[in-house]
A and B are shown apart, each in its own frame.
Chain A
Amino acid sequence: MTTLISAQYKPTVWMKVQKNYFKNWRSALLSMMCFAVLGGIVWSIVDWGILNATFSSTARHTECYANGGACWSIIANRWRVILFGLYPYDEQWRSITACFIVVATIAFSCFPVFWTVRRLSLIWLVGAASFFVIMKGGVFGLSLVSEEQWGGLALTLFIFVGTVLIGMPLAIMLALLRNSKLPVISKVTGVIIDTVRSLPLISILFTFALVLPFMLPDMLVGEKLYRVIAASALFFAAYQAEIIRGGMQGVPKGQEEAAQALGLGYYQRITRIILPQAFKNALPAMINQFVTTFMETSLVTIVGFFELLASANAAYGTGEWNFAFVEVYFFVAAIYFAFVFALSRYGAFLERRMAN
């Protein structure tokens, strides 16, 4: 009987459209309005960004103003500043290569084949090391470019990679300490995690960048960039630790008891039994945190770094280009969007895959 019914009822595309968009006159009106709004937005963007836009790189304010649309000549003139910041002009190919290395590292770690601790850490260590060597130089005949000259997209990606590379082990450590059976250790770690989580990221960045040199013995102060990465990693770790802990709570108690009964030690229980399952439980939330962290790298602008957003501000900051801020932010927003959207889609894909 059921098979008969399901065989009879097969909604056609038209029926679906009718049900979802034109069920009654109110629904039809709403659909029309929504499509009018969407169409209007898309049309005005196309009109502004393509049809009336000025693409010639020699065009300035007057030509762009006459055309009435976007002035993409600012991107043609200033894309190097936006993407590379103050990096020396002749060496900018290194900056591009470094960016591709990071993208490749992220892409590789999206394949389940590499999802073992050893492979993942190997990929990220190799990625970060080769990024560093190519950017900084001083070996293999590459000229030395100090960290102060790094900028633009490459710096954004470096901060992200650094944050993840330091933050991930720290997060696992914090999660384990927080989950410890020893009451003092778990309470104290809990206080640390909660304090970091209750503070805004910018205040932690500010403290590490400008205040910490004051509080550390001179030999530990180090470069400002690395202090900021440490701050960002600490913040990332506090959030990620709670996510991992959530994943650990989702692992049935029987698993740990069985492992104990088999005579596995603490280290083996954690690395072989608990963590793999905890990671699987927490994966969607963890990827979400990576996405948030990528977006939050833009906050280092405030403590005076020349990353993607700050270079964008500089690109239109001169009097000549002062009018073309929309184009610059459009360009930068598109870059952030590409990274963030791809990562979050990947997270959604994993979530769906794991649900099945």
Chain B
Amino acid sequence: MIMLRNQHTRKVVLQAVYVLVLLAILITGVFSAQANMAAQGLELSFSFLWKATGWDMTFSLLPTSSSDPYWWYLVSGVVNTLFLGIIGLAGATLVGGVVGFARISSNHGARLLGTVYVELFRNIPVIVQIFFWYALANHLPSPRRAIEFGGALISNRGIYMPGMNVEGLYIALFYFVLCAYFIGLIWFVSARRFRRVDPAKRRKVVWGLSICALAIETMLLYIGKPVGEVLITYPELKGLNVQGGYRIQTEVYTLAFAIAIYGGAYIGEIVRGGFNAVGRGQHEAARALGLSTWQEFSRIRLPLALRAMLPILTNQYVWLVKATTLGIVAGFSDFFMVIASSITHSGQTLEFIGILMGGFLVINFTISSVMNKINKAVALKGHQLRM
């Protein structure tokens, strides 16, 4: 007891007790789980990851079958989560941009519309919205009475889009080259290290890149297309079902739509906040210098607002990616749903919970580090950001 009066000893003891209590809780949990698993004839190891699953995924970008091992299912689940996350985030950013601009517009009619949108979609739980859109998609007419819209067929079995008649591998390569082209182009146009290149040369490089990309794309499509068939197939009703084209499943587009609509309301508020953070002085100085409204917007307010928005946007993105786990209510096989089904099928509870935590930590960490990179890259160099 006298020892405890010494401040230094007391600190050490306190910290040790805290850590020990937490460790005790954790160890009890692990041991009792192990005992429970042993009672069911299971053991704590990761060897089950190489066993076949024996059940099917409802949706998967990567090819899966019930004879595939668990680790492949987990990878497919992560890919599905990322796929939905990227579509959802892109949609939400787009919607949010529009809503945010409406909210800061000098026109109060547009402001009112933006306010109604934000208040409506922010104040209804996202899961209610997902259920609603999913129910709506499932109550669309059957394929036989599908709604035709610009070559696409909309029915309760999904949206049938005109699709390219090209083999899977080549279509993947096609999109990969397309993305690479755009990323390369943006990098070349905006990166500092190419600033000093002569404008005429720059134009030549841009043209060269575009022609190269076009040539590769055409070649890929030509190789991938089955001989003697048309390149683009339109969905057509044959008998009771739709043939041809490309089917977007109900749960995929409902979820992407719901996340875009819901996230858009939040991102709209972030955009508005970003623009409000730009000091009035900046705006007035720009006007005093004689910049036009567009110049003032694109050169002064937008760049400053973007920098103010980015950190908050990072949190919002992380949060929206976590919201994709709600896909489980529509039966979308994302990372979380794969884990949940795996637990019920295999009983390897502890391992899967560990994988779940690890997976989300990695995903969140990746998003925040990418966003921090962007944040650093666009931060004003050499002096403090003044707001």
Contact = CB atoms under 8 A, between A and B. Distances in A.
B107 A203 contact: no
A207 B353 contact: yes
A44 interface: no
Closest 5 A/B residue pairs (Cβ): A34-B109, A31-B109, A295-B125, A200-B322, A20-B108
Interface string A290-327: 00000110110110000001000100000000010110
Given A30-B110, A184-B18, A301-B329, A214 B349 contact: yes
B123 A340 contact: yes
B374 interface: no
B336 A200 contact: yes
24 contacts: A31-B109, A32-B109, A38-B116, A182-B11, A184-B19, A185-B14, A185-B15, A188-B22, A198-B318, A199-B360, A200-B322, A200-B323, A203-B339, A207-B353, A211-B349, A215-B350, A217-B32, A295-B123, A295-B126, A301-B329, A302-B329, A309-B131, A313-B131, A332-B128
Contacts of B120: 337
A344 B124 CA distance: 12
A329 B132 contact: yes
A341 B353 CA distance: 36
Given A188-B22, A207-B353, 7 more contacts: A38-B116, A198-B364, A211-B349, A217-B32, A301-B127, A326-B136, A344-B123
Interface in A27-52: 27, 30-35, 37-38
A55 interface: no
A34 B110 contact: yes
Interface size on A, as a range, is 35 or more
A14 B22 CA distance: 67
A21 B19 CA distance: 63
Contacts of B329: 301-302
Nearest to A183: B15
Contacts of B322: 199-201
Contact of B361 (A31, A198, A206): A198
Interface in A53-97: none
Interface in A192-230: 192, 195, 198-203, 206-207, 210-211, 214-217
Interface of B: 11, 14-15, 18-19, 22, 28-30, 32-33, 36-37, 105-110, 112-113, 116, 119-120, 122-128, 131-132, 135-136, 139, 318, 322-323, 325-326, 328-329, 336, 339-340, 343, 349-350, 353, 356-357, 360-361, 364-365
Contacts of B113: 34, 37-38
Contacts of B325: 200, 202-203
Contacts of A21: 107-109
Most buried by A among B19, B107, B135, B360: B107
A296 B125 CA distance: 7
Nearest to A41: B116
Nearest to A292: B125
Contacts of A301: 127, 329
Contact of A337 (B18, B33, B124): B124
Given A20-B107, A185-B18, A336-B125, A214 B33 contact: yes
Contacts of A217: 28, 32
A333 interface: yes
Contacts of B18: 177, 184-185, 188
Nearest to B110: A34
A20 B30 CA distance: 64
B334 to A, nearest CB: 10
A327 to B, nearest CB: 11
A23 B109 CA distance: 12
A312 to B, nearest CB: 8
Contacts of B135: 325-326, 329
B110 A333 contact: no
Most buried by B among A192, A206, A326, A336: A206
Contacts of B32: 214-217
A325 B360 contact: no
Nearest to B30: A215
Contact of A30 (B107, B122, B350, B364): B107
Nearest to A195: B357
Contacts of A185: 14-15, 18
A94 to B, nearest CB: 26
Nearest to A342: B123
Contacts of B361: 195, 198
A207 B354 CA distance: 11
A47 B161 CA distance: 33
Nearest to B135: A325
Contact of B15 (A31, A38, A184, A195): A184
Contact of A325 (B28, B139, B340): B139
Contact of B128 (A34, A188, A203, A336): A336
Contact of B326 (A177, A192, A202): A202
Interface string A115-142: 0000000000000000000000000000
